[in-house]
Structure 1
Amino acid sequence: MPKTSARLLALLSLLQARRDWPGALLAERLDISPRTVRRDVDRLRELGYPIAAFKGPEGGYRLQAGTELPPLLFDDEQAVALTLALQVVTTTGAGVEEAAARALTTIRQVMPARLRHRVDALQVTAVDPAPTGGRPQVGSGTLMALSSAVHAREVLRFDYTAGTAADSGAPRRAEPHHLVTYAGRWYLVAWDLDREDWRTFRADRISPRVPTGPRFAPREVPGGDVGALVAGRFRGADAHGDWPCHGEVVLRTAAATVAPYVRDGLVEALGPDRCRLVLGAWSWTALAATFGRFDADIEAVGPDELRQAFARLARRYADAATAHRPPPPGP
């Protein structure tokens, strides 16, 4: 590669690494004169890179955002990371699969041979985590509109097609705080201004209206963790990500047998074949059924709601075991 071209690439790489670069420091890093730095900056500008000069005690340069996309420069690790991301983007439900495939082809074509061999060996099979019934696609325009409203902290007005009539109808007004993906779908976490509560809206059911509303002061999500909030909502937890029902039992089995299957519960060994287990669930019946899945004798410690749930399940299971079965059809 000609020396000037190599120097331009090195200069571009430095400008991408940090926001502001004093001219003297660039000259020192590249082992060239300040005058050569100025000439190389002019050459990069001619190639379409918007490089601004700033004044100050030292003076320097800053790579700004432009109106067009000039050639980009990635190091080896960035290229591998980008290749990996483009291969798994099909599981996001963002409706950009074709664009991702084109981008991957474009990047591969301009890679040096040593790096092309490396990324060609990085073949990933992205398994779609879509729930039963398929995963609805979300247009990139909708995602951009939602993301822009989140970034600008502007009230979002939108039409919403919900699963129930109670949640559909009149246009909604909400303060958008986070755009998240969960189980292969996109969701908007927002403060619903009409219901005065935190809500998670499926992005594929949102039709944004323009213009957006006034700016708002951001709120802190319950618990301070948006990931925990979303996961809690889908497992039936309350607004703070906690289970509404908690119970305690003693299982006649070793703690080591139970522990691998307990996520956010508490397991305490009471002996070689007894352990204390505390769990939470979205209902008392579900909690009782969860305790029963460990295939061990159970001593219910409390509360009374849990004991009552065990009694309800016992009756249901007894009825299921003794239910009348019609005789098989004759020959």
Structure 2
Amino acid sequence: MSDTTTRALSLLNLLQTHRHWPGSELAGRLGVTERTVRRDVERLRELGYRIESSPGSAGGYRLEAGSAVPPLLLTDEEAVAMAIGLRVAASQRLVSGPETTITALAKLEQVLPAPLRRRVNALAEAVQPSGLNAGAPVSSEILGELALASRDHERVRFVYTAASGEVTRRRVEPHALAPADRHWYLLCWDLDKEDWRTFRVDRLADIEHTRVLFEPKPLTPEEIEEFIFVARSWVRQAVEADAVMELPLDEMRALFGQWGQGATAEDERRTRWPVGGGDFRETMYGFTWIPAGVEYTTNLESPAREELREVLERMLRALDAPPPTTRPESARPKEPRD
């Protein structure tokens, strides 16, 4: 690096640390003349830095905010603090999209020396924001690679280990990264399945960049949220069951959309669909999504089976019984006055 470049960077570092510098003091700190300081200021202006200058004995130089973000010089401590803050912001959804913080984090950590990267990892484990549940550990390098691939619309390959232990090699077009509850999820178009798929990032390994770009398929923020919500529902539930419905798999998927993930063909005319929830009520709610007129059977086990039966029988008795008499006007609660 030339002496001129080194001196200009030193000048920039000084301008970033104080709001105003007298020209004579800058010259003294850099060991040059005030004329050289003026030339170096012009070089920085040509690079996009807005530097205000004022004449006179009380004059000097001040770095202003510009219309574009120029390069920044950070100390080691500042770089570590920014990396930690970006990780927290992404996991807590503190900005309008976790990919923004992850891509910024990837750019920052890409240029961090190994000792600083280790400091970031160590501090990140110790800094846990209030209310953030600890989930499966995820490498920041993997998050960064996936975020940049999503941003750049680049196809990638990776090895994925499903909850069942099955290991597969996937070819995908990454679309979005999102944190949900305790995990990170990657929403992408699976080239082999020719359908949308959502993967837990902590189960990804051996990411390979293909350098093949793709035209992203249209997907609204609401659709992304629903895909992630569906993926969250696939974690093991307290009450799980299968519903085998009298509906061919293709028709079932057309009706259920992304909620049809996990469904399999029982035979040519029947489809097996896994349903689950925190208790029998949530499982019952899943059954209500089966279209009207479609018969089905279920392997819901005890005691949830008996609990659901009791609730349904009582509900049927209530529907078959005569409706309660209408409450007289005088007995109705009066609305509060303003």
TM over 0.5: no
Query: TM-score, normalising length from structure 1?
Result: 0.43
